Amino acid sequence: MANDTYLTIDPGQRGGLEPTFFFMMNCLMYSRLETGKPSNNDFYDEDVNVYLASLLSSFMNPAYHERARKYLSRYDTNLFHKVQDSNDARLKYTIYKTNADFLLISIGIFRNPDQTRPGARNSLLKDNEEVYMGRAKAYYQFAYSYSQSMFRHSTAVSEVLEKLSRGFEKYVQILSHMRGEYFNILDRLGSGEVYHLERSVDKMSESAKLKTLQNEFLDVYSKWMKSESRDENLRKQLRDVVRRIQQIDETFRFRMDAE
């Protein structure tokens, strides 16, 4: 397992994908100069260059998608539930960092993918981009905070996360320039990886929502059964939660007057 305190190239990339890392780094450095945002201009951020080049290389690797999918959440509420349900600082750090990384690449490289990918309907960026940018900055800041509690001191990676949160807009502009001038990562990834990753996020989101609704159903049903005169408000709540469950699980059946 890679040491989280150091900036390294993903071990899973060694060999065949190392040239990809150097290609990404070269394009990134040119993009910084061409956008008027050279390294170390506002603060030391050569470490951010290494992180971004490694992250971009990871997106070319299907194994990265497999590792990342279990941590991704489309909605804030689902992500916060994952975090709240765990006492593991490392897991919380990984969840926030993975979601922030994915949003950074989605905004910077796949800007408005609904128009760039034929047939794409459920883009992760279908809502206001500013909302996602604010969310990504917050996620990086949370990941930074949890990394501090994990290691009890500042580390190379934690410093990068804090810089990404602080200068998020700048790095998005650099990546956007890089996308347009040097490569089309959509073609490199093909239709497979991104599509299946988005589908997996959808499924995880629906699964979490269904579980919440099922718990709500059991709670309301228990109250309704215990009420002496079958309270009408509880009946309405029960019908509403049944309807919402059936929107996700069409096989779910329940009759109010079955007894």
Mean pLDDT of 236-245: 86
Indicate the SS3 state at residue 66: helix
57 or 11: which leads in pLDDT: 57
Asked if residues 209 and 71 have their Cβ atoms less than 8 Å apart, the reply is: no
200 — pLDDT class (breaks 50, 70, 90) = low
Q: Give the pLDDT score at 148.
A: 85
122 or 134: which leads in pLDDT: 134
DSSP 259: -
Q: pLDDT tens digit string along 22-55? A: 888 999 999 999 999 999 998 899 999 999 999 9
Query: What is the C-alpha radius of gyration for the chain, rounded to an integer number of angstroms?
Result: 22
Q: Copy the structure tokens of residue 115.
A: 């128009």
Distance CA 206, CA 29 (A): 40
Tell me, yes or no, whether 2 lies in a domain: no
196 or 153: which leads in pLDDT: 153
Tell me, yes or no, whether 4 lies in a domain: no
Asked if residues 36 and 11 have their Cβ atoms less than 8 Å apart, the reply is: no
Asked if residues 76 and 95 have their Cβ atoms less than 8 Å apart, the reply is: no
Residues 77 and 59 reside in one and the same domain: yes
Residues 18 and 124 reside in one and the same domain: yes
Residues 46 and 18 reside in one and the same domain: yes
Indicate the average pLDDT of the chain. Answer: 78
Residues 113 and 153 reside in one and the same domain: yes
Residue spans of alpha helices (H) in 152-231: 156-166, 168-182, 185-189, 192-226
Percentage helix, strand, coil, to 5, in the chain?
A: 70, 0, 30
The pLDDT > 90 percentage for the chain reads 27
Pick from 30-44, 59-73, 156-170, 203-217: least confident:
203-217
Q: Which of 188, 218, 247 is the last residue of a domain?
A: 188
Tell me, yes or no, whether 161 lies in a domain: yes
Q: Give the pLDDT score at 48.
A: 95
State which residues form the domain around 238: 191-259
Q: Give the pLDDT score at 221.
A: 84
Residues 164 and 196 reside in one and the same domain: no
Distance CA 129, CA 111 (A): 9
Asked if residues 59 and 105 have their Cβ atoms less than 8 Å apart, the reply is: yes
Residues 89 and 145 reside in one and the same domain: yes
User: Residue 238: pLDDT above 90?
Assistant: no
Q: Copy the structure tokens of residue 11.
A: 């071990």
Residues 259 and 133 reside in one and the same domain: no
Tell me, yes or no, whether 208 lies in a domain: yes
Residues 213 and 97 reside in one and the same domain: no
Tell me, yes or no, whether 218 lies in a domain: yes
Q: Give the pLDDT score at 193.
A: 55
Q: pLDDT tens digit string along 48-83? A: 999 999 999 888 888 888 888 889 887 788 888 888
Total of domains in the chain: 2
User: Residue 114: pLDDT above 70?
Assistant: no
Tell me, yes or no, whether 65 lies in a domain: yes
16 or 239: which leads in pLDDT: 239
Tell me, yes or no, whether 19 lies in a domain: yes
Q: Give the pLDDT score at 5.
A: 47
Tell me, yes or no, whether 6 lies in a domain: no
